[in-house]
């Protein structure tokens, strides 16, 4: 064995039995929208907590003809996105793209692309903490019971207490949402900006949590409602009066950049592909 | 409008990796050979096999070399490699009375049948730096001989050796394990992990746990956060044959051997009420048992594991170390280092969302909170 310096890894790294096992969990997750399906997560050459859940889903569903896009913070060129792509390419040799429309599979950390998605596409999230109820209950056995009995009172009490103490709901990203009127899910964490995109979407959303060993799904055309109280509706991040410093967009999620001029800060689109195409469009005057 | 886009990109990663390689190679030096790591870093290799959860000294030695001696990183390399190997089958359960013993001690009896063998141990060595190791000659040592007529240098350690706990069971002082004869043991690498875990799964999580974490939780239990302070019935280290059932002929075949450390801890007694066939209630007092088993030679991890086996078997849950979720979710070094390290990844999208919340709260804050806001602004 030790003379084998040309060791060959299997297509998409994982062995075939493992991939089949994970695909079965995905099917179960699609059948029960929002339900966290436990799975026997494997160790990958990428750290636990760096996207191994999403990665295991990608590696299990990927084929030789798949075109893949990977983003982190909305950015194709962010270090972690580049690194995940590097592993996938080195073990599959598949084609990658930055074009949202061209991709069959999009793996993402923290964002949904600004461009709309289609029935043909699978959107895969990397999830650090899949349990939305962990905010109010540390024990897994108890949160599983709460999901089983749809006992979500504690969660609404948290929202109420937030309003009592702070005047509004304090949850930023990873805003809890009710799927198919049944299960509350952790929304990856994507910003609140992206949460409405999960609702009645054309594409399939898959969520993979490697370290926590859970897979869940929001199938196409499934109702997803962010939790809210009647007099305190769900609100997205407020970027009113701000625009992207590169493409001038006023309707995309913006990252704030502390800078020495421009009143101390400037803004830029978090979705790098969207920003680039938007800039080209405005140049062309179309 | 000014804009500085900070991106890592492919080149930065590649160059960073080249720099790592440079740091390993920057001094003119002979490469460390895997054989040297395997032979002279025996306990490092053992630790990596244990936490990497794969018994293969050559692979572990390669990982130690690649990780520049960071054993947690090495264990992680081994675990990732493990994910590429299909599960081809299960061995027959190894039996520790078949162990070829190199070390065996008991702290519960002055003498035990079969005798105590210190074997390779640093327990009683003075921790003085040995400066002679700075300039060592090439070596090829023979096993040490004992200069005593009454003691044979060919001890009969080949024969199966009864375990100390067997004696205690004969004396009706020790509980018997709960047997599930017809049930296959859990396989935490292939089965879904659902809390609460049964004992076979708990033991698997423990044996591949990070040594420092196992020690910390075991130690906490002895200091009063769980009240398990055991007496060691036996610590044994040695080589054990691994057997499988032949797929066609159904007889047992030995496919190799592993080095392992096994610990039986005697813990405080418990009271059981047993209902006999005639319906009479009988009260039984027994010692309880904690079990530790790790790949390679590692007394302290196996002992600490035996303590945690016991604390996690207790019915009441009045201490963190008796809480399965608290202990078993947090002892895995591969998982904990990964999640701690992920804090280094960019979080600016979620942080933007958090800033949005804080600014919004500051805007519509109640009047009586003005002081609080003042403190935010400082």
pLDDT band at B271 (very low <50, low <70, confident <90, very high): confident
pLDDT band at B280 (very low <50, low <70, confident <90, very high): confident
CB A244 within 8 Å of CB B3? no
Three-class DSSP category at B111: coil
Q: How far is Cα A63 from Cα B315, in angstroms, rounded to an integer?
A: 48
Q: Is B361 on the interface with A (CB under 8 A)?
A: yes
- pLDDT tens digits for range A35-67: 999 999 999 999 999 999 999 999 999 999 999
Q: Is A247 designated active site?
A: yes
pLDDT for res A165: 85
The A214-218 sheet, strands edge to edge: A37-38, A214-218, A204-209, A122-126, A105-109, A67-72, A95-96
Angle at B334 between CA A211 and CA B31, to 5 degrees: 145
Q: How far is Cα A186 from Cα A41, in angstroms, rounded to an integer?
A: 19
For chain A, domains (ranges, CATH) are 16-141+171-225 (3.40.50.11310), 238-286 (no CATH)
Instruction: Pick the more confident residue, B340 or A168.
Output: B340
Q: Is B340 on the interface with A (CB under 8 A)?
A: yes
Nearest to B339 among A17, A49, A192 (CB): A49
Q: Do A237 and B353 touch (CB under 8 A)?
A: yes
Nearest to A168 among B190, B349, B364 (CB): B364
pLDDT for res A54: 97
Give A80-84's long-range contacts (Cβ < 8 A, gap of 24+).
A80/A50, A80/A51, A80/A109, A80/B345, A80/B346, A81/A109, A82/B8, A82/B9, A82/B10, A82/B13, A83/A46, A83/B13, A84/A46, A84/A51, A84/A55
The minimum CA-CA distance between A184 and chain B, rounded to whole Å, is 19
Reply yes or no on whether the pLDDT at B375 is more than 70. Answer: no
Q: Is A273 on the interface with B (CB under 8 A)?
A: no
Instruction: Pick the more confident residue, A3 or B213.
Output: B213
Q: Provide, rounded to the nearest whole percent, the portion of chain A with pLDDT above 70.
A: 97
pLDDT band at B145 (very low <50, low <70, confident <90, very high): confident
Reply yes or no on whether the pLDDT at B343 is more than 70. Answer: yes
CB B180 within 8 Å of CB B167? no
pLDDT for res B97: 85
Q: Provide, rounded to the nearest whole percent, the portion of chain B with pLDDT above 90.
A: 58
Q: Give contacts of A20 with chain B, Cβ < 8 Å.
A: none
Q: What is the pTM of this model?
A: 0.87
- pLDDT tens digits for range B41-97: 999 999 999 999 999 999 999 999 999 999 999 999 999 999 999 888 899 988 888
- Nearest-Å Rg of the Cα atoms of chain A is 20
Q: What's the full length of chain A, in residues?
A: 286
Q: Which two tokens stand for residue B37?
A: 């790591």
Q: Is A31 designated active site?
A: no
Question: From the candidates A25, A34, A53, A54, which is the catalytic residue?
Answer: A34
* ipTM of the complex, rounded to two decimals: 0.85
Nearest to B348 among A82, A167, A255 (CB): A255
Q: Is the peptide bond before B196 cis (omega within 30 degrees of 0)?
A: yes
Three-class DSSP category at A226: strand
- Reference B313, options B341, B278, B288; nearest CA is B288
Q: Is A25 designated active site?
A: no
Reply yes or no on whether the pLDDT at B365 is more than 70. Answer: no
pLDDT band at B285 (very low <50, low <70, confident <90, very high): confident
pLDDT for res B21: 94
Nearest to B83 among A44, A83, A192 (CB): A44
pLDDT band at B245 (very low <50, low <70, confident <90, very high): very high
* E strand or H helix at A155: helix A153-166
- In this structure, what are the phi and psi dihedrals at residue A192, rounded to the nearest 5 degrees? -60, -30
B303 burial (CB, 10 Å; 0-12 / 13-18 / 19+) is buried
pLDDT for res B225: 86
The minimum CA-CA distance between B259 and chain A, rounded to whole Å, is 20
Q: Is B82 on the interface with A (CB under 8 A)?
A: yes
CB A12 within 8 Å of CB A90? no
Reply yes or no on whether the pLDDT at B32 is more than 60. Answer: yes
Average the pLDDT over each of A75-89, A169-183, B155-169 and give the range with the smallest value: B155-169
CB B57 within 8 Å of CB B38? yes
Three-class DSSP category at B273: strand
Q: Do A80 and B357 touch (CB under 8 A)?
A: no
- Reference A193, options A132, A244, A234, A161; nearest CA is A234
Average pLDDT over residues A1-26: 85
pLDDT for res B5: 45
Q: Give contacts of A144 with chain B, Cβ < 8 Å.
A: 195
- pLDDT tens digits for range A82-130: 999 999 999 999 999 999 999 999 999 999 999 999 999 999 999 999 9
């Amino acid at each position: 064995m030790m003379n084998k310096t040309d060791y060959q890894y299997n297509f998409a790294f994982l062995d075939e039995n493992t991939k089949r096992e994970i695909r079965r969990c995905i099917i179960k997750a699609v059948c029960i929208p929002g339900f966290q399906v436990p799975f026997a997560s494997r160790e990958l050459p990428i750290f636990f907590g760096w996207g191994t859940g999403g990665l295991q889903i990608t590696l299990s569903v990927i084929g030789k003809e798949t075109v893949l896009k990977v983003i982190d913070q909305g950015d194709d060129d962010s270090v972690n996105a580049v690194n995940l792509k590097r592993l996938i390419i080195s073990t599959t040799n598949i084609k990658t793209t930055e074009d949202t429309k061209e991709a069959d599979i999009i793996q993402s950390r923290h964002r949904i692309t600004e461009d709309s998605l289609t029935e043909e596409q699978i959107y895969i999230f990397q999830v650090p903490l899949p349990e939305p109820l962990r905010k109010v209950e540390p024990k897994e056995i108890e949160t599983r019971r709460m999901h089983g009995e749809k006992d979500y009172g504690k969660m609404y009490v948290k929202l109420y207490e937030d309003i009592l103490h702070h005047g509004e709901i304090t949850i930023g990203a990873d805003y809890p949402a009710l799927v198919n009127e049944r299960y509350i899910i952790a929304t990856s964490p994507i910003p609140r900006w992206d949460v409405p995109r999960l609702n009645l979407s054309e594409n399939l959303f898959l969520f993979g949590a490697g370290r926590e060993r859970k897979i869940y799904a929001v199938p196409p055309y499934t109702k997803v409602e962010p939790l809210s109280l009647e007099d305190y509706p769900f609100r997205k991040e407020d970027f009113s009066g701000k625009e992207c410093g590169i493409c001038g967009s006023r309707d995309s999620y913006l990252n704030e950049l502390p800078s020495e001029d421009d009143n101390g800060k400037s803004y830029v689109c978090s979705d790098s592909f969207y920003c680039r195409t938007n800039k080209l469009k405005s140049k062309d005057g179309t | 409008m000014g804009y500085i886009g900070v991106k890592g990109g492919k080149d930065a990663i590649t160059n960073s990796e080249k720099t790592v390689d440079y740091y390993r190679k920057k001094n003119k030096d002979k490469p460390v050979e895997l054989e040297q790591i395997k032979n002279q870093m025996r306990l490092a290799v053992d630790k990596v096999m244990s936490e990497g959860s794969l018994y293969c000294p050559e692979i572990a030695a390669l990982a130690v070399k690649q990780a520049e001696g960071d054993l947690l990183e090495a264990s992680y390399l081994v675990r990732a490699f493990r994910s590429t190997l299909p599960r081809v089958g299960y061995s027959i359960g190894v039996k520790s009375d078949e162990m070829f013993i190199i070390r065996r001690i008991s702290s519960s009896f002055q003498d035990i049948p079969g005798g105590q063998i210190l074997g390779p141990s640093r327990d009683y060595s003075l921790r003085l730096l040995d400066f002679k190791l700075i300039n060592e000659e090439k070596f090829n040592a023979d096993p040490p001989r004992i200069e005593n007529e009454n003691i044979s240098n060919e001890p009969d350690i080949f024969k199966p050796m009864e375990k100390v706990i067997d004696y205690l069971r004969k004396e009706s002082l020790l509980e018997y394990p709960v047997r599930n004869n017809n049930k296959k043991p859990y396989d935490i690498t292939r089965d879904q992990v659902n809390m609460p875990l049964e004992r076979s799964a708990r033991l698997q999580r423990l044996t591949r746990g990070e040594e420092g974490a196992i020690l910390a939780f075991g130690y906490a239990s002895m200091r009063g956060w769980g009240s398990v302070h055991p007496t060691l019935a036996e610590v044994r280290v040695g080589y054990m044959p691994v057997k499988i059932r032949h797929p066609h002929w159904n007889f047992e075949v030995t496919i190799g051997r592993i080095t392992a450390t096994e610990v039986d801890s005697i813990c405080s007694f418990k009271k059981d009420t047993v209902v006999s066939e005639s319906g009479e209630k009988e009260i039984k007092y027994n010692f309880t048992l904690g079990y530790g088993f790790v790949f390679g030679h590692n007394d302290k991890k196996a002992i600490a594991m035996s303590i945690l086996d016991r604390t996690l078997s207790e019915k009441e849950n009045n201490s963190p170390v008796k809480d399965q979720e608290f202990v078993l979710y947090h002892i895995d070094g591969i998982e904990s280092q990964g999640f701690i390290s992920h804090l280094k990844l960019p979080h600016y999208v979620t942080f933007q969302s958090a800033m949005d919340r804080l600014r919004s709260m500051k805007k519509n804050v109640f009047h009586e909170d003005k002081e609080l806001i003042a403190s935010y602004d400082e």
